[in-house]
């Protein structure tokens, strides 16, 4: 789906006043992919990376963004073209400063997706995929094929990585959110031995064991205080909606109810009172016909004041992420 250039910003670039919201912008005509930051109203856009197809690398607009705990950096998955084999495109994790400076790839992250900063900022979780086709030559099996995804933890201080979840055919884990104390990592699990549904799970960093929160759901994200989790659940004939559940999997509450629309990639404001998310219209819109999301929306954590934050005709906005840290709380939406 995807691939970003270092923004024109430098170490001396002027960063708009916090708080900021990071987002990937996709413009289909002409084709552009940009990593931006905007203010809480969706204005004061600042390009951090990306641009036209000649810009490299391009951000993956379906890979969630992650701010460092102090709000000084953004980690994101992006696509690059190998110089010796221009037809081969690979993803890697990059980081960039909030002013657009110091864009660089992280080691040991080839083929990585969905970076998540740990609460202390010393490590980064990400997902790595394996896809190998089943190949038969002259009636003999040459490659048996494989499909799976595992989560890895990259130590940013030592540059080493360790595998958290196992490789197994038909088993996929997608990382999405650390608990505030750093002891668990929320993820989406798809295990064809168990079910055909996505499952939200909490993985122990100490043991690698996974505890299921609900029978179905995906893209779970802890609230800033770790007491709640926002996630997506798909409802037959009603699209995908946001739900909030306790961190122990109890007290589930539906946050949105939007037939013919899908909602993904929710992000908490640091106050825990507001969420921003991507809305995708499944039909009857120009954006939907072009296969792109139509708006960024925001809603209070109690389900009130669901309002549009950012939209442009023929443009998609993806994977929004609030800048964390004290003093950057936006609080409730007033409506």
The last residue of a domain, from among 74, 105, 136: 105
* 310 domain-assigned: yes
C-alpha–C-alpha distance, residues 148 and 129, integer Å: 6
Model pLDDT, residue 57: 83
- Counting the structural domains of the chain, the total is 2
> Domain of 279?
213-328
* 145 domain-assigned: no
Query: What does the DSSP 8-state code read for residue 286?
Result: H
Residues 6+ apart with CB under 8 A from 284: 260
* 54 domain-assigned: yes
* 161 domain-assigned: no
* 120 domain-assigned: no
* 175 domain-assigned: no
Model pLDDT, residue 91: 85
Mind giving me the DSSP string for 52-110?
A: STTSSSEE-TTS--EE-TTSSEEEEEEEEE-SS-TT-EEEEEEEEETTS---EEPTT-T
Cross-strand pairs, 182? none
The pLDDT tens digits along the chain (335 residues) read 223 222 223 233 456 678 999 999 998 888 889 999 999 999 999 999 988 777 778 899 999 999 999 999 999 999 876 655 554 557 899 999 999 999 999 999 998 999 999 999 999 999 999 876 655 566 665 556 668 999 999 999 999 999 999 999 999 999 999 999 999 999 999 998 888 899 999 999 999 999 999 999 999 999 999 999 999 998 766 679 999 999 999 999 999 988 878 899 999 999 999 999 999 876 544 444 444 557 999 999 999 999 999 988 888 999 999 999 999 999 999 98
* 219 domain-assigned: yes
* 11 domain-assigned: yes
Model pLDDT, residue 234: 87
Alpha-carbon torsion 198, 200, 202, 205, what sign? positive
The last residue of a domain, from among 105, 135, 160: 105
**Would you give the end-to-end CA distance of the chain in angstroms?**
37
The last residue of a domain, from among 105, 131, 155: 105
CA 67 from centre of chain? 11
CATH code where residue 308 lies? 2.120.10.30
């Amino acid at each position: 789906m995807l691939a970003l250039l270092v923004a024109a910003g430098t170490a001396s670039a002027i960063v708009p006043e916090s708080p900021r919201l990071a987002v990937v912008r996709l413009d289909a005509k002409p084709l552009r992919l940009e990593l931006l930051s905007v203010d809480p109203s969706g204005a004061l856009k600042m390009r951090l990376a990306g641009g036209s197809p000649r810009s490299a690398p391009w951000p993956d607009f379906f890979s969630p963004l992650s701010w460092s705990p102090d709000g000084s950096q953004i980690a994101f998955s992006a696509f690059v073209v190998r110089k010796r084999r221009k037809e081969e495109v690979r993803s890697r994790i990059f980081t960039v400063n909030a002013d657009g400076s110091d864009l660089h790839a992280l080691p040991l992250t080839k083929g990585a997706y969905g970076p998540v900063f740990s609460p202390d900022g010393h490590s980064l979780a990400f997902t790595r995929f394996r896809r190998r086709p089943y190949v038969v030559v002259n009636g003999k099996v040459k490659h048996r094929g494989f499909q799976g995804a595992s989560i890895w933890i990259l130590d940013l201080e030592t540059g080493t990585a360790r595998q958290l979840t196992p490789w197994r055919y038909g088993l996929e884990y997608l990382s999405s959110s650390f608990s505030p104390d750093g002891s668990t990592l929320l993820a989406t699990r798809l295990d064809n031995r168990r079910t055909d549904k996505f499952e939200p799970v909490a993985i122990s960093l100490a043991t690698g064991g996974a505890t299921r929160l609900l029978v179905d759901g995906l893209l779970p994200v802890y609230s800033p205080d770790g007491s709640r989790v926002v996630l997506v659940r798909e409802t037959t004939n009603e699209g995908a909606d946001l739900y909030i559940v306790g961190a122990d999997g109890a007290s589930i509450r539906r946050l949105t109810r939007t037939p013919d629309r899908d909602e993904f990639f929710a992000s908490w404001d640091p106050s825990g009172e507001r969420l921003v998310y991507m809305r995708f219209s499944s039909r009857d819109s120009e954006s939907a016909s072009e296969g792109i999301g139509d708006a960024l929306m925001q809603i209070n954590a109690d389900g009130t004041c669901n309002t549009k934050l950012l939209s442009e005709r023929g443009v998609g906005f993806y994977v929004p992420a609030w800048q964390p840290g004290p003093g950057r709380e936006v609080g409730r939406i007033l409506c």
